[in-house]
Structure 1
């Protein structure tokens, strides 16, 4: 080789030592071979695992077909170079019958117009890893110096390829190690988080804290928003960043019935919803939207937190059930006058929040959503002091008239408390009666009788869904006392007694007919329709009523007296099932 060629090899070696991208390196090699040997085309093929070769780069080709051509083992100039491990030249490739040909390779050679092809091996540690080839589109004689230069270039290229592969492998190994370290750090961080949360959950369970503490701990650990839904998918507790937040009225997308049945964790984007359940009951779900995406370990931590929540809620439910049973027993004894030892009863009442020495108002309600209303009543008595229970199909609440901290000495305290009860009654959507304020067992029993009677009167007057205290009932309030009921009974007997006696003896419907006739504005057609009787039947009944009560019962003040007496009679019958009236 002359000085120019040696300098070119030296410059190429320096360049190749700094090139770590294999494709760029191979392209530089073939470009240098084509330039230094002044050939039409240069290309380089690498040996595959099965002994075949694939042309990786070209320089000077007429089209893209040459690059990517796969050469089967032993085929063509490249195959022979790979087999022998020494340079091979063919003066006229397509006419050279000494070589093994293939149709695919020959077709590409014709398209490129190749005649003379020379190939040298890329040897590395005694093994051929590729072949560097140059070609001319005319017959050319390559000199020994040309072959020497090309062989040296191939040797440099083999070393550079090996270095590039090593560097690529090192980089891949380093990347894998970095990823493994990051994964290890995540696992360690997850394990530390799991241990930390386990300690918090254990402490919460041992202290007997409520569900709110669990939600706070989860929101603090995951720096996100946490929402606890109850078994009816209503928001119960909300927290963010370790602080309690106002629970939204709606929880957004509701967990499906299938979710409650399967009790499996569900992921929707970054939000994770974990069921809170015991072996026998579904309590709701823990919905977490974290500050950062959760790993699988984090989800398992949330699932363990949900288990702690389930344990806390099981205890809460058991305590609540026991308290409700106690509350029901106490209220039943109180309103039924079955107290026995008053001192012992007072101590037992104080143990569940009912201080008989303080003034209380009594609320009795019939609500469509009985369970929901009882839950809200429980919240009311926890806030203001008192006791709530379900008794004989109605809800009963004894609510402190002066608040849980004792009397404030202001006359407005009672009014404010009654306003709170009326506001609550509006949220129940049922029929409510109020009694009191009253102090002591006997007076509370009487206040309960008043409140219960108010409910009955409201229903009898077709005023369902409203709330009333005795003062709201007008003339009907006198039915709430024993003396008032006695006076009303005398008035009823004096006014419509013959009708009552007739129906009692003969099982007739004259009382109901007279009531419907007067209530319906004395319209014959409407009354007959309301009673589901023929018009002739109605006329016969009205004649019989006239015979018993005398002429004029359906006109003027007499009609008002008859209608009032009939209504009082109906109310008195409805009140028969209520607690005894006040004396």
Structure 2
């Protein structure tokens, strides 16, 4: 083969290796083999030149593949940056991709302060010692001037680079991290830098323009993503603010609706002849507060709770200020005091102890509450003045003995006052001590009006006819309210319920006898109903309910015997007859003493632990005697009926 043909064949071989993307080693091996076979210097030069060109082409292929890989990585990074991230997550994606793309030992991002001051490191990866989040990057740290000019800057060995304006603090940080080569590119918005993206190696490294350009492209993508993240964060903050404003607006609307509803309810109570207590309870719910209404003497008319630790001296000063200004004023412990005044006349005062701070709307509602209470008190006083004589005359006629009018006439008069005498009523009598019948009578008129009852003053006592079945509860309520009004004790008694209009006189006489007995036994200031007196109540009653007395005292024992066919009542009778000796009672019953003891334990479970105390024991013995007599009479009655049948 000629030399020209041989050289042509060698060139084709180089092209085939390039076409198959063979590694550089194969080109070098082919060159060595050709040089060994051809000692001609001219041919050798040709072979070396052909091989060099092949290696250069192969290097170009490698660079192009590297750039294609870098661009693919940038595209992936751009795709990652389009996903919604918070700022810290976004920065971490950026520095991680920068480190992976360029093979840095460490990457970090510095951002400008919100106030436009210095730069601080916001996120880093690959640090080992001194480079901390929040570290301020001084202008002399490498390339501040270059970044401000929106240009990239790099150095192969930071500490030895004389172009850099060094500072001891930053040099110590770089030295502590072992950094040498550093590449920095700006993050900019509209040509104005707001931060920098840094990559560094712990060995000397000469960065190529391609590497600088690659990091610059990544920085441009990062700047857009960071700017978008800031915009999104601001948008989220604006949305949160709008949601907060909307929430506050909804709360305000709900509060205003609640206040309007409370105002309608209060006005409805006033127009519907509601009493002071009803208005106070409704206002307490609306204001979420404890309310206390006092009269002009400082006595409590009604309250929804207690207001502790009130200094009456400071209260008196605040009350004077409130009355002088005719508006609510603040007292101690967060209490508000509002005057109850009409046309210059003082009717009392309203104390408000809120559970929380009062809003301006609450302050307005407080003034409305004071006005509603004032109007209610005026209406009640007017109703008492106008209707008082008519109602007093009706009570006098109901209690008269003998009756001065027919029952039908009394029932019709009561119906015109919206009082149904066919319903059960109780009679409460109160005897104030110390000659305070006048104040007690005024209070009784208001109290009877509130409860749609009747009041009168007879024999030095306040008399009330009130709807209901529970005389004991009515007596306790009257005692609690009237005693707090007067400075002296009040003795209260009650009886009932009535069974029709004709029964009112009898119940009144029973209540008066109960009042005398309570005063004699317990003294002034005591409170009781006829049913509370046990067997004494039975003796004082005109309509003696013996069965009811027996059931109230002995009922649980009799019911137990009836259900289980036991002899607890007989054991109890024998126990009392044996002078409370279980042993003697066992002899009478012909049982073992332990049996008597067990039965007595069962009786204690049924009647309570105090059944052996003197008063209850006396009532038990009386009930046992009455029960024994009742059983004997019923037995005699059945025997007589059988005898009559036989005849």
- Paired with 2:119 and 2:74, the residues of 1 have a C-alpha distance of 25
Is 1:349 the counterpart of 2:389? The answer is yes
Q: Could you tell me how far 1:259 is from its partner in structure 2?
A: 6.2
Structure 2 match to 1:386: 455
Bigger mean CA offset, 60-69 vs 50-59: 60-69
**1:527-538 paired onto structure 2 within 5 Å:** none
Structure 2 match to 1:299: 362
Q: 1:251 aligns with which of 301, 306, 309?
A: 306
Is 1:62 the counterpart of 2:156? The answer is no
Closer, same or farther: CA 349–318 of 1 in aligned 2, 3 Å: closer
Closer, same or farther: CA 375–273 of 1 in aligned 2, 3 Å: farther
Q: 1:161 aligns with which of 191, 209, 226?
A: 226
Residue aligned with 1:192, SS: helix
Q: 1:229 aligns with which of 289, 292, 306?
A: 292
Q: CA offsets per residue over residues 228-275 of structure 1, 9 Å max, x none? A: 43336868365xxxxxxxxxxx6374655456754657999xxx9754
**1:169-184 paired onto structure 2 within 5 Å:** 169-184=234-249
Is 1:45 the counterpart of 2:110? The answer is yes
Structure 1 match to 2:399: 359
Structure 1 match to 2:462: 397
Residue aligned with 1:149, SS: helix
Bigger mean CA offset, 40-49 vs 305-314: 305-314
- Paired with 2:259 and 2:507, the residues of 1 have a C-alpha distance of 51
Answer whether contact 1:80 1:88 (CA < 8 A) is retained: no
- Paired with 2:516 and 2:448, the residues of 1 have a C-alpha distance of 14
Is 1:413 the counterpart of 2:482? The answer is no
Task: List runs of 5+ in structure 1 lacking aligned partners.
Answer: 239-249, 327-346, 433-470, 472-583
Q: 1:110 aligns with which of 175, 180, 190?
A: 175
Q: CA offsets per residue over residues 270-307 of structure 1, 9 Å max, x none? A: xx975453365653435677xxx988366346424532
Task: List runs of 5+ in structure 2 lacking aligned partners.
Answer: 1-65, 319-327, 402-428, 466-494, 527-539, 541-647
Closer, same or farther: CA 216–414 of 1 in aligned 2, 3 Å: closer
- Paired with 2:148 and 2:256, the residues of 1 have a C-alpha distance of 57
Q: 2:208 aligns with which of 133, 143, 161?
A: 143
- Paired with 1:427 and 1:266, the residues of 2 have a C-alpha distance of 45
- Paired with 1:235 and 1:364, the residues of 2 have a C-alpha distance of 20
- Paired with 2:518 and 2:448, the residues of 1 have a C-alpha distance of 11
- Paired with 1:254 and 1:235, the residues of 2 have a C-alpha distance of 19
Closer, same or farther: CA 310–6 of 1 in aligned 2, 3 Å: same
Closer, same or farther: CA 426–128 of 1 in aligned 2, 3 Å: farther
Closer, same or farther: CA 81–315 of 1 in aligned 2, 3 Å: farther
Q: Could you tell me how far 1:427 is from its partner in structure 2?
A: 13
- TM-score, normalising length: structure 2: 0.50
Closer, same or farther: CA 237–141 of 1 in aligned 2, 3 Å: same
- The structure where helix makes up a greater share of residues is 2
Closer, same or farther: CA 216–116 of 1 in aligned 2, 3 Å: same
Structure 2 match to 1:126: 191
Structure 2 match to 1:509: none
Answer whether contact 2:108 2:198 (CA < 8 A) is retained: yes
Residue aligned with 1:67, SS: coil
Q: Could you tell me how far 1:16 is from its partner in structure 2?
A: 1.4
Answer whether contact 1:264 1:274 (CA < 8 A) is retained: yes
Q: Could you tell me how far 1:386 is from its partner in structure 2?
A: 3.0
Pairwise CA RMSD of aligned residues?
A: 4.5
Answer whether contact 2:188 2:220 (CA < 8 A) is retained: yes
Closer, same or farther: CA 154–412 of 1 in aligned 2, 3 Å: same
**1:526-565 paired onto structure 2 within 5 Å:** none
Closer, same or farther: CA 255–14 of 1 in aligned 2, 3 Å: farther
Closer, same or farther: CA 380–54 of 1 in aligned 2, 3 Å: closer
Q: Could you tell me how far 1:162 is from its partner in structure 2?
A: 0.9
Is 1:277 the counterpart of 2:344? The answer is no
Q: CA offsets per residue over residues 190-211 of structure 1, 9 Å max, x none? A: 2333333333434444555322
Structure 2 match to 1:36: 101
- Specify which structure has the bigger relative contact order, considering alpha-carbon pairs within 8 angstroms and separated by 6 or more residues: 1
- TM-score, normalising length: structure 1: 0.55
Residue aligned with 2:502, SS: coil
Closer, same or farther: CA 414–303 of 1 in aligned 2, 3 Å: closer
Q: Could you tell me how far 1:157 is from its partner in structure 2?
A: 0.6
Q: Could you tell me how far 1:184 is from its partner in structure 2?
A: 1.6
Structure 1 match to 2:614: none
Answer whether contact 2:130 2:176 (CA < 8 A) is retained: no
- Paired with 1:311 and 1:377, the residues of 2 have a C-alpha distance of 19
Q: CA offsets per residue over residues 152-185 of structure 1, 9 Å max, x none? A: 1101110110111111111111111111111122
- Paired with 1:402 and 1:169, the residues of 2 have a C-alpha distance of 76
